Chain A
Amino acid sequence: MNDLYRLQFIFRDVLDNPNLILNETTSVENCQGWDSVATVQMVLAIENEYNIRFKTDEVARIRSVSDILRFLNPYIT
């Protein structure tokens, strides 16, 4: 399963939107319901999915799917 697909599963659950299609340009500006609370909920789900821990100041900088993929990059094999 590729990482975008794994993130899409998480986003759909957090944003309660089963039809959401995610791509690397998806961001807080163009994705309905993606606010700062949703960001934290996504981060917690991503931590469980990938068995990693984000730093709290990293989370404050997340504004897009590409930001998340960049943080995940060192953990993706």
Chain B
Amino acid sequence: MVRENFPKAMSQNYDSKSLFFKLHHIGHLVKDLRVAADDYVARFGYSLGSSIIEDPVQTARVVFLRQPGVTCLIELVTPTGPDSKLENALRKGITLHHLCYEIDDIHAACEYLRERNMFLISTPVSAVAFPGRKIAWLMDRGGLLIELLETA
């Protein structure tokens, strides 16, 4: 068996003292919320964690799923219609869509990640799915899409 050591930078703790990125949910882009939710319930023991929520800013309809004793949720996401920002991704077969991290200071986190080579796609805006809280979007060069969610 060949073992490969990680480069030093990859094995070090990240250097932020004040920012803690807590995984809040994984976004799964689907054609049909109800069909996908049924599959998650039947296959993996999830239950519905919300009603279906429509966010016109994100041009998406979403529903959250949860597992007993697990804090990280699944967010099923579907386009609101053919003009949705998400339609193109769905057409290209992108399904595992994003990771969402909860963070106390969303503005500082955006700057922190931008300095670490991530593209800021959307500055913090209010989110229908999380009343009173803001979300922001970033992407890295590998195409990893990250949502930041302001802590309640």
Dominant secondary structure at the B interface: mixed
At the interface, yes or no: A38 with Cβ under 8 Å from chain B? yes
Main secondary structure of the interface of A (DSSP, over half): helix
Stretch of A3-11, A29-37, A69-77 lying at the B interface:
A29-37
Complex contact A56–B120 (CB within 8 A)? yes
Taking a contact as CB atoms under 8 Å apart, the answer to whether B114 and A57 are in contact is yes
- Interface of chain A residues 1 through 55 with chain B (CB within 8 A): 15-16, 33, 35-41, 43-44, 47
Determine the chain B residues whose CB is within 8 A of the CB of A43 once the complex forms. Answer: 119
- Cβ of A33 and Cβ of B88 under 8 Å apart? yes
A residues near B, CB below 8 A?
A: 15-16, 33, 35-41, 43-44, 47, 56-57, 59-60
| Residue B139, interface by CB 8 Å | yes
The answer to whether B143 touches A44, judged by C-beta atoms less than 8 angstroms apart, is yes
Contact mask B110-145 → A, CB, 8 Å, 1/0? 000010011111100000000000000101010101
Distance between Cα atoms of A40 and B145 in the complex (Å): 11
Given the known inter-chain contacts A44-B141, A44-B143, please indicate yes or no for A36 contacting B88, CB distance below 8 A.
no
Q: How many residues of B contact A (CB 8 A)?
A: 17
| A37-B139 contact, Cβ under 8 Å, with A56-B118, A57-B114, A60-B120 | yes
Residue contacts A-B, CB under 8 angstroms, 29 given: A15-B88, A16-B88, A16-B92, A33-B88, A35-B85, A36-B122, A36-B137, A37-B85, A37-B121, A37-B137, A37-B139, A37-B145, A38-B88, A39-B121, A40-B119, A40-B121, A40-B139, A41-B143, A43-B119, A44-B141, A47-B141, A56-B114, A56-B117, A56-B118, A56-B119, A56-B120, A57-B114, A59-B119, A60-B120
Question: With a CB–CB cut-off of 8 A, which chain B residues contact A36?
Answer: 121-122, 137
